[in-house]
Structure 1
């Protein structure tokens, strides 16, 4: 393996370094499993160094990279073009470097959508989305582009919630409305998919979003974007009421699968990545 070939296969993440970063671990596991001539490294890139980091990745022949907060919006000015959903979302978390061009993608919503379709096709469905952060925005756009009929955006910050509802209504075929989150939210009876896209429950198995659990009913799909712990308080409550549940591990795995496919044109084995995350999070 020559140095040039090694660098040409590099991918990475522009974020804060962490020795136990689950994304690094699962993607590296996929590379090893498939014998790929690639490495996935985590780089601490400060906002003032983003332009230099992007130029460096391109100069060294990287296949691409992920980027996390605070770079998801700032990266836009350094790219040559955007994929359709990334353009609507207005944020990028995956960059592909192909033939000298930097192409912006957003895998947040795509990873969730891939996971969701294993239990329900969102086409024609009515969705209730808790939260209005970056993940919620990306998920809302992907659901709308996948044919969801109506989205209800529930959030405490009215401005952010209204912004997503307006984005969906004006930029996609779907319809959306904003509902203020004040007290325990009762899931509307016509909802077919409920998604927690907030950070409530992250790292805390007992934390529960403020919802009326009596409004959870059999057959309702309840999804949580939080991967750790995979079995959140919301999902446990939903299971007791006969709901179909979906944890955040699948979203994280599918984000990795999509990123590797975008960079190298081949899809890694999801089960290898899932097992790595299950080991990290102690799921068995």
Structure 2
């Protein structure tokens, strides 16, 4: 089965998990219709193919990770007060906070249902691992929500960014490794993906730097005193982001089974979009 066919099956599984009736289902389908790169699903498909997992198992892992990611987005928009995502109103802004909470909770539960379809004798480990990594994401989100009270240091920023973004990017590869009986690869996968996730979050912050600076929101630029010289802070943050992404590329390239190649290509795209290294 081709990669494209697996992606279509995964997308169908993600959409089907929401059901067809009720306000929560409507809110979730509305959220999905806005698009998104489905990057975590693609990571799961890529890793599953490299480990020669069955198509059914690959779709189960990829869809589970994508459902979990979208659950986090719906809740994140509500907690951050973001009224728009991907060019349209966020779920809470359109349907209200109560429906957004229910929609996110539903997708979180649906991710476990999708994972249960995996054809592997490691299913118990997969379910436990999904919970463990979700717990880290929740803690990272809690830290992010308290960021105003945290010191504006590289250590504090890194800890929050890695906890919030890292697990959901590592999870597709980790689940595939577990399903394939390659538990020894979990640590190198996590190490490389954590670096990638940090660079990913930093690059994402830079794309929102002006908006976050105006709102006083948590952003990588705060490590460089943007209130004194905003443009210089952006340039310094971009330099640090470039360094982290280069380190991430090296770590991802070193992963066996070609597991890191999608992240390497994505890191190259992010590097190309970073602000210039020197002020105009």
TM-score, with length taken from structure 2: 0.33
Please identify which structure carries the higher helix content.
2
Please identify which structure carries the higher strand content.
1
